[in-house]
Amino acid sequence: MLSRVADSILWMSRYIERADNVARFIDVNQKLTLGFQSQLSPQWEPLVLATGDQERFVELYGKEYSQENVVKFLTLDSENPNSIISCLKFARENARCIRDNLSIPIWQAINKFYLMVKSFPKDSSTYGNPQALLDIVKDQSQLFEGASQLTMSHGEAWNINQLGRLIERADKTSRILDVKYFILLPRVTDVGSSLDMVQWTAILNSTSALQMYRRAHGRVDPKKIVEFLVLDRFFPRSMHYCLINADAALRFLSGAPAYAFSNPAEQLLGRMKTNMDYLSHDDIVNQGLHEFIDGYQRQLNELGVAIQEAFFCNSSSQVQTQNQQFQYQ
């Protein structure tokens, strides 16, 4: 497969997954304070901090982190390259360039997704209550994933698609957990309270994990939630699951056997996966959840660069330049 085509497939997948997870960021922030307005004022700055786009936000809106400004910035602001509408625009552009390599349902899913969000009202009512928009984004991203799974041969192109999606998902699950870290409880005594439990339940809801978590662990327990979203091997949005399956997709592309590597990207991803294999909740707590997530995100950024250098030739094409430029910091 041409590296230009592979690069477009990978970033098409990453942008769709990124749009979905930005919607989940906003969703979790709203649910974290639902029913506790008198005890916990809404905090929107953490969402911008978690995405790493604070410098761009300040350029556009100053330091006024109001709900309207932050929701607009993260959803329908075309001047933010990591907003939902920008991600869908870039995903559609990548897909348009490689339509011959995609099934018709995949192209239709992406095109419909972009047009639905583009036509959504851009007014204060949307930014004040974005739930309808968030539901569209989450539903349409699942339709795209379903079309990819069911209408695409599971060869090189499909594995590249998987690789992009899983790397992006691993990063965003970690950022959703980081949102919980940034949104501080009013008092230390609130740890373990009903407010704390509502917040952790909102985290599970926003990662579509609540039902599977309850089947595995029963009652809401912060320790078990961290274990589930970080270390679980079988839940599709856990950080560990994403690494395991990204490693399998990467090895399919290179043909390298298990426990060996043929390029720096495989070496780094294999090291990350193996480290997660033997990690415990206590290891994470001793290091600090925020510090652990910070290190994990830095490694994922390094992995993205290593994959680019190992598999995709340097190109001056507009789409590839755009793909390399617009990444979370």
Cβ within 8 Å of residue 168, ≥6 positions away: 13, 14, 17, 18, 21
C-alpha torsion angle, residues 176, 198, 71, 8 (rounded to 10): 30
CA-to-CA dists, residue 149 to 25, 100, 145, angstroms: 25, 17, 6
pLDDT tens-digit series, residues 180-238 = 666 544 444 455 556 677 778 888 888 889 999 999 999 888 889 999 999 999 999 99
Predicted pLDDT of residue 3:
83
- Amino acid occupying residue 135: D
Predicted pLDDT of residue 151:
96
CA angle 31/35/38 to nearest 5° reads 115
pLDDT tens-digit series, residues 90-143 = 999 999 999 999 999 999 999 999 999 999 999 888 998 899 999 999 999 999
Predicted pLDDT of residue 25:
85
User: Which residue is it, tokens 């950080």?
Assistant: 239
Which pLDDT band holds residue 176 (cuts at 50, 70, 90)? confident
CA-to-CA dists, residue 263 to 25, 245, 309, angstroms: 34, 18, 10
* 199 closest CA partner among 225, 174, 175: 225
pLDDT tens-digit series, residues 152-162 = 999 999 999 99
Do residues 114 and 88 lie in contact, with contact meaning Cβ atoms separated by under 8 Å? yes
Calculate mean pLDDT across residues 66-84: 94
pLDDT tens-digit series, residues 24-41 = 888 877 776 555 554 544
Which pLDDT band holds residue 82 (cuts at 50, 70, 90)? very high
Residue 86, pLDDT > 80, answer yes
Nearest-angstrom CA–CA distance, 184 and 226: 17
Q: 257 or 14: which carries more pLDDT confidence? A: 14
- Amino acid occupying residue 19: A
Q: Where are the alpha helices (DSSP H) in the chain?
A: 3-33, 45-51, 54-61, 67-75, 84-97, 104-118, 124-128, 131-151, 156-182, 194-206, 210-217, 222-231, 239-254, 264-277, 281-287, 289-311, 318-325
Predicted pLDDT of residue 162:
96
Buried b (16+ CB within 10 A) or exposed e, 36-52: beeebeebbbbbbebbe
DSSP state of 307: H
What pTM was estimated for this model as a whole? Answer: 0.88
